Amino acid sequence: MTRTIRRFSFILVCALLAYLLFWPVPLDPVAWSAPANAGYVGPYAANHKLAGLKRHDLMGHHGPEDLAIGADGALYINTGEGDILRRAPDGELTVFAQTNGRPLGIEMGPDGALWVADAYQGLMRVDDNGVTLVLDETRDGTPIRYANSLDFAPDGAIWLSDASTRFGARQWGGTLEASYLEILEHGRSGRIIRFDPSTGVAEIKLAGISFANGVAMGATGEWLLFCETGESALRKLWIKGPRAGEVEDVLTGLPGYPDNIKRDAAGGFLLGLVSKRSAAADKTAPYPFLRKIVQRLPAAMRPKAVSYGFVIHLNEDGEVTETWQDPAADYPLVTGAVRDPDGSLWVSSLGADWLAQLVGP
C-alpha cells in the first residue's frame, strides 16, 4: 500500500510539474528590466489626504473608472455596467447613455457632445440623439481592440490610446483580464492614435507601448502626456516643432501603476495610480519562462493588485506639486480625479460601488 501511494504521489508531482512547465498559455512573455521603484518618499511621501472621502450613491452601479464635467457643471460618470450616468449640479443622478460595452475614458468635446473610449466598442460619441460608434479601426485597417482614453487637441483632433492590440478587452473576458495579459507578456502592443473627426482619418502616431492608458493634451497642443502602465511611467509625445515624434520621460519608477491623467481645472494635471507596484512582477521581469509559469497557476494563486489610494498633481513642466493618498485604500483601485468649479476633487475608481468626493475648500 505504501509503495502504491508513493508511486501515485510521484506520478501526481510529475504531472503537476509538466503542467507548470509546458502547458500552452496565450502569451509569449518578453524579457525586460523593471525601473527602480521610487517608493513612498520624496515627492511621493505617504500621507492620508485621500482618506475620509464623501460617499455618493451610484444607483447600484460600480466601477466609476473615469469622470468628465460638462459646461453646465454636470458630472458624467462611466460604469462597469456600460451605463454613463449624469449627476446634475443639484445632485440628481440619471442614466445619460448606455454604450453596450465598457466605457473607460470620457471627455466633453468642443462640439458639446460627450466622447467615449469604450474598451469593447471603440471611439463613441454621445449627444441628446443617442450613442454613435465613430471609430473601431485605424487607417491601415487594424481594429481598435482596447480603446482606453482620449483627449482633444486645439485643432479638434482626438488623441486616443489603444491599450493592447494583442489582448482585446471583449475577446479576453474583460478589461482587467486583458490588461493583466498585456502587462504580464510585456509585448508592448499598445499605441496612440490621432483621429480627425472632420476627415474620418485615424493614424497611428506611436506604437510599442506597454499598456497605453491615460492621455492628456498640453495646453498649446505641442505635446501629449500618456501613461505607460506596464512600465510605471508617464511620458510625453512631442507632436509639433523640431522634436515632433520624440518621446520624453516625465515620471518614471512610479510607486504605483499610472492609469488616468486629466487636465486639472486649476492648472496642470491630475494623475491616478491604480494600485501599488508589484514586487513579484518587477522581480520576474527579466524571466519570461517564470512569467509563463505564473500564468499557468490557478487565478486565485496569481499575484493580485494591491489597492493604495493615490492621486498626483503635476504642473505643466511635469513636476509633482502635491499628492493625495490613502494607504488603507478605503476607496479601492483609484484611477484618477477631476476638479469641479467649487474646488472639490471627484475621484474615480475601477472597482468601487460608490463615487468619492474630496470636498474642496
- Three-state DSSP at 111 gives coil
13: how many CB neighbours lie within 10 A of its CB? 10
- The DSSP secondary structure of 273-337, one letter per residue, reads EEEEPPHHHHHHTT-HHHHHHHHHS-GGGS------EEEEEE-TTS-EEEEEEETT-SS-SEEEE
- The answer to whether 72 touches 356, Cβ cutoff 8 Å, is no
CA 17 to the chain's CA centroid: 35
Q: Which residue has the cell 483621429?
A: 195
Strand partners of residue 93: 87
Could you give the CA distance from residue 287 to residue 307 in angstroms, rounded to a whole number? 25
Could you give the CA distance from residue 14 to residue 188 in angstroms, rounded to a whole number? 35
Q: How confident is the model at residue 24 (pLDDT cuts 50, 70, 90)?
A: confident
Spatial neighbors of 34 by CB under 8 A, at least 6 apart, are 231, 232, 281, 282, 283, 285
Between 300 and 2, the more confident residue is 300
Residue 16: pLDDT over 70: no
SS3 letters across the chain: CHHHHHHHHHHHHHHHHHHHHHCCCCCCCCCCCCCCCCCCCHHHCCCCCCCCCEEEECCCCCCCCCEEECCCCCEEEECCCCEEEEECCCCCEEEEEECCCCEEEEEECCCCCEEEEECCCEEEEEECCEEEEEECECCCCCECCCEEEEEECCCCCEEEEECCCCCCCCCCCCHHHHHHHHHHHCCCCEEEEEEECCCCEEEEEEEEECCEEEEEECCCCCEEEEEEHHHCEEEEEECCCCCCCCEEEEECCCCEEEEEEEECCCCCEEEEEEEECCHHHHHHCCCHHHHHHHHHCCHHHCCCCCCCEEEEEECCCCCEEEEEEECCCCCCCEEEEEECCCCCEEEEECCCCEEEEECCC
CATH 2.120.10.30: does it fit domain 36-358? yes
Q: What are phi and psi of 253, to 5 degrees?
A: 65, 30
> Stretch 182-211: mean pLDDT, rounded?
98
Handedness of CA 124, 265, 331, 89 (dihedral sign): negative
> Stretch 284-293: mean pLDDT, rounded?
95
pLDDT digits (tens, 9 = 90+) for 212-238: 999 999 999 999 999 999 999 999 999
Position 304 scores a pLDDT of: 86
Q: Residue 327 corresponds to which amino acid?
A: P
Inter-helix orientation angle 288-296/2-22, to 10°: 120
Give residue limits of the domains in the chain: 36-358
Q: What are phi and psi of 313, to 5 degrees?
A: -105, 130
Chain length of the chain: 361
Residue 7: pLDDT over 90: no
pLDDT digits (tens, 9 = 90+) for 108-152: 999 999 999 999 999 999 998 899 999 999 988 999 999 999 999
Q: What percent of the chain has pLDDT over 70?
A: 95
Q: How confident is the model at residue 5 (pLDDT cuts 50, 70, 90)?
A: confident
Position 326 scores a pLDDT of: 98
Question: Which cell goes with 143?
Answer: 481594429
Q: What is the pTM of this model?
A: 0.95
Strand partners of residue 194: 159, 203
291: how many CB neighbours lie within 10 A of its CB? 22
Q: How confident is the model at residue 297 (pLDDT cuts 50, 70, 90)?
A: confident
pLDDT digits (tens, 9 = 90+) for 58-70: 999 999 999 999 9
319: how many CB neighbours lie within 10 A of its CB? 12
